[in-house]
Structure 1
Amino acid sequence: MTETWDDINEQVKADWKADTTPFERVYEIIEQTHEGQSAAEIADHALVSEPTARRHCKSLVNTGFAETDQDGQTTLYKRNSDRVLMSRIRELREEATRTELLDGIKDMKAEIRRYEDRYEVVSPEELAQQLDADETEGWDDLSAWRTTRQNLAVAHAALAYDEASHQLAV
C-alpha cells in the first residue's frame, strides 16, 4: 500500500509542478509558513532550485507578503503576519455590517464569559494550567476559547478600522 501512496504523492507533485510557475509554488509555500524556513527548505517544498527559491522569497519580502528572521547566518522566510491580520480585518469589514459586527462581538463576549464561568478561570492560559492531559472536552474548549478570543480581537479591529475609515472620509 505504501508504494501506491508514494506513486500518488509523486503524481500530485508532478501535476502541481506542471500546472504552476516556480514563483506560484514559492508563493504557496510562503503563504502556509508560520515559522521561518530557509530558502533551501522552501526550495525543497516548492520543487525549485535554492537560488530560484531565494530570488522569489526576496521578491515576496520586497512586496510585503513575506518577512525574514535570522537563525545565525541563515535567513528564514515566512508570511508577513501583519499582512495576514490586515487582510482578515478588511475581509470582515467588507463582509459584515456595523450591526453584524456589534452583534458578533456581543455573542463572542458572552461565549467567553461562559468559558470563564464553566471553568472558574479568567483566561485560556489559566485553564491550560488546570487541565489534565486526558481531559479531551476541556482541551477542546480551551482551543475554542482561544479561537473566540482571536476572532473577538479581529472583530474589534474591523470595527475600529471601519470607524476610522468613516472619520477620514468626512
Structure 2
Amino acid sequence: MSDSNPFPEDDELPDEAPDLTGIDPFEEDPSDYGDINEFVEADWSESKTARQRVKDVIVRATKPRSAAEVADLADVSPPTARDELNALAEEGTVRAESTDGGRVYQRDPDWYRIKRIRELSEKPQRALETTLRQLEEEIEEYKDTHGVDDPEELILSDESLDDEAWEDISHWRTASVDREYLRIALQYASLAESEEVIFDDDSGEDKELNSA
C-alpha cells in the first residue's frame, strides 16, 4: 500500500471481503413483512423467554408501542411487558417516552448503529478496506451512469425514472450507508489501537515508578 493510495493493491487483497449483511443484529428483516404481526408469526419461537419475546417485538417495531401493545404481540402480561421494557430502556437498547396517551417504547437506533460499528471494527482491516474500495467504485458507477452526485438528486431530477433507475437508487443508498459504516469502523479500530498503545505506555511508566 503506497502513501498516495490509501487502498491495498490487488495482490494485497484478501480472498473474501466481509459480508456487511452479516452484521445486522437481527435474524429477520422487518421490512420483509407487512406489519409486526406477520413478523411475529414468521419468526416466533416457543423456547424464547418473556424478555426475549418482548425484545423481539420492540426492536422490530416501526413505530413507538405502548406496553399493552407489546404485551399482546409478545404473549405476556402488560405488567411483565412494562417491566421488561423499562429494563431494556435502562440497558440502553430501547427508548422510553412519556406522551399524552401514556408511556411508549421504541428501539434506540443509536445503540444498534454503535453495535454494528463495533462488530465491523473487529474484522480484518484489509478486508474492510477492500470492501470500502468496492463500494466507492460502485457509487462512482452510479454517478457516471445517472450524471448526478447522489440518489436523492436523481429522485428530484426531471427525468422519468424506470424500474431499473429505482433499483439503482435503492442499491446506491445502501452502498452509501455501508460506506459510512466502514469508514467509521476503520476510524474506530484505529482509535482503539491508539488508545491501547497509550495505555500500554502508561502501564510501563507505572512499572518504572513502582520499581523505583
TM-score bin, normalised by smaller chain? 0.7 to 0.9
Identify the residue that residue 3 of structure 1 maps to in structure 2. none
1:33 Cα shift? 2.5
- Please, what is the CA RMSD of the aligned residues? 2.1
For residues 119-142 of structure 1, give each alpha carbon's deviation from its aligned partner in whole angstroms, at most 9, with x where no partner exists.
Answer: 111111112223647x21111111
Of the three residues 23, 28, 33, the one matched with 2:61 is 33
Q: 2:122–2:189: 8 Å Cα contact kept in structure 1? A: no
Cα distance 1:58–1:143, how it changes in 2: closer, same or farther (>3 A)? Answer: same
Identify the residue that residue 153 of structure 1 maps to in structure 2. 180
Alignment of 1:40-79 (within 5 A): 40-79=68-107
For residues 71-111 of structure 1, give each alpha carbon's deviation from its aligned partner in whole angstroms, at most 9, with x where no partner exists.
Answer: 4343221112111111111211223x112222211211111
Q: In the comparison of the two structures, how many residue pairs are matched?
A: 156
For residues 70 and 121 of structure 1, the distance between their equivalents in structure 2, rounded to whole angstroms, comes to 43
Identify the residue that residue 142 of structure 2 maps to in structure 1. 115
**Aligned: 1:128 with 2:150:** no
1:20 Cα shift? 2.4
**Amino acid paired to 2:150:** S
**Amino acid paired to 2:75:** L
Instruction: Give the gaps of 5 or more residues in structure 2.
Output: 1-37, 198-212
Of the three residues 99, 104, 111, the one matched with 2:131 is 104
**Amino acid paired to 1:144:** H
**Amino acid paired to 2:120:** L
Cα distance 1:161–1:76, how it changes in 2: closer, same or farther (>3 A)? Answer: same
For residues 149 and 72 of structure 1, the distance between their equivalents in structure 2, rounded to whole angstroms, comes to 38
**Amino acid paired to 1:152:** R
Q: 2:86–2:96: 8 Å Cα contact kept in structure 1? A: no
Identify the residue that residue 6 of structure 1 maps to in structure 2. none
Give the secondary-structure state (helix, strand or coil) at the position aligned to 2:122: helix
Identity across the alignment (%): 31
**Aligned: 1:138 with 2:151:** no
**Amino acid paired to 1:83:** W
For residues 151 and 81 of structure 1, the distance between their equivalents in structure 2, rounded to whole angstroms, comes to 16
Identify the residue that residue 165 of structure 1 maps to in structure 2. 192
